[in-house]
Structure 1
Amino acid sequence: MDREARTLGLHLDAVPAALPTPFAGRETELAALGALLPGQVAWVSGHAGMGKTALLDALARAGGWTVLPGRADLPFGTLAPLCAAPPTSAHAALGALRDPQVRVAVDGWEGTDPGTQAPLTLAAQSRSGTTDTSARPGAALLITGRTHPPFDVDLHLHLGPLEPGDLSAWPDLHVRTDGHPTLVGAALRGQPLDLQFGARVRAYPDPVRDTFLTLAVQDQPNLRATRAAMNLGAQDFARILSFLIRTPIEWAAKPAGSERSE
């Protein structure tokens, strides 16, 4: 793993815990999610690096939400923190979502196991049959995913790059980052930005760019988990890694539009 990460230009050395990134540009979305009522279901979609996790972190800091990172290593493992004992069936996992006093956010639909996806789907479908939210049982439920929701929801937010108006409190920040949430976060943490490199990354084909950003934000990149989260076949993932390996960081320093000769 160390060798693979070095080949990708990533560093696995232990680093001090980073300070929370100042929340920027998603105030409207944050307010909409904060207004969810018991029994309502919301879905937040967007490519990797578009700020889904940052939005959930902001909800958690605001209070009242339990944020559960998606995990696929154990059946129903994502919902285990809500249960008195580790759930061993969809029925037991579904029971954890019936408390109307609870607000639950699951971060990463694609990263959850099928056992977890089943009770989440049942919870959503059981509430979609009535428009009377007061008659709906259960917790307010929020799920993030890379694609559109596979079931009906009360609220669907799709995250893309931030607009200039979203970042009006930070002069020149949109100009420096093109509104890409990953770059915005880096700038707000005081990290230097290589704008030509950022422009080059944004110009990658979607699967390549998303894979690069997913690997780049991991303190300890996990290729197997990344491939699963990106829902990529082994051959497609190998081609993407080959592209990244053959594309040196120095390429970013070339003038825009120049071509690299092999």
Structure 2
Amino acid sequence: MPRRLVLSASLGLAAPALITSRSARAATEVDVELILAVDVSRSVDTEEMEMQMRGYAEAFRDPRLAEGIAGGPLGAIAVTLFVWSDWNIQNTLVPWMKLEDSTSCERFARAIDGASRETYLYTSISGAIDYASQQFGQRYDGMRRVVDISGDGVSNSGRPLAAARAEALEKGIVLNGLAVLDRSPQPAVLLAGLPPVDEYYRDEVIGGPGAFLMVAEGYDAFANAVRRKIIREIAAVPAQGPLVERAFG
């Protein structure tokens, strides 16, 4: 029997443990693993979708963001972006990237610029949280794991939001929210008697150590909101700021 095979056989049940250990060491350590989860449900029209994507791209071109990343213990974060709608629709548009300076931040911004613009029907925040929870630990090992969920409506598809939220929090994931207030809501929304989206996100979506909600007062305020939000999220030691912040266009 070749020497290599003898060695493998002698390891027996220990081999899987060695593989697991090697995989863990291969993960790149970063200060934060940040997932950007972008709502593309029916309530988001083509213009609003473009404003969202442009807002995210502008945020990563802000010099203060690169400065914030460099100020962390490791001086690097990992970020990915996916869009979500129905319970079974979550599409990653920008895969995980390591950001550590203005050059890598610009690379991420360009990836957003070139990503597809797509919209669907329903709003499944639980589906978005479930999908996001599965994306961590693939290539990076973050000291903190944060999901940034943006949206302009309540969950109306998929399993109960409370169950998905509870499971994510048990895993140590921080859920932050970016609620967009639609200044011209559809009549059906008004008749349904649904709670204001900012209150809904505050009470039902966000959670975890230091979690907070950024409220964009209309889509014209989105770029300002997302820029402030991400800078706060990547801070080395997140300040105990207000639970809810508001951004205006």
**Bigger fraction of residues in strand:** 2
TM-score (normalizing by structure 2):
0.27
* TM-score relative to the length of structure 1: 0.26
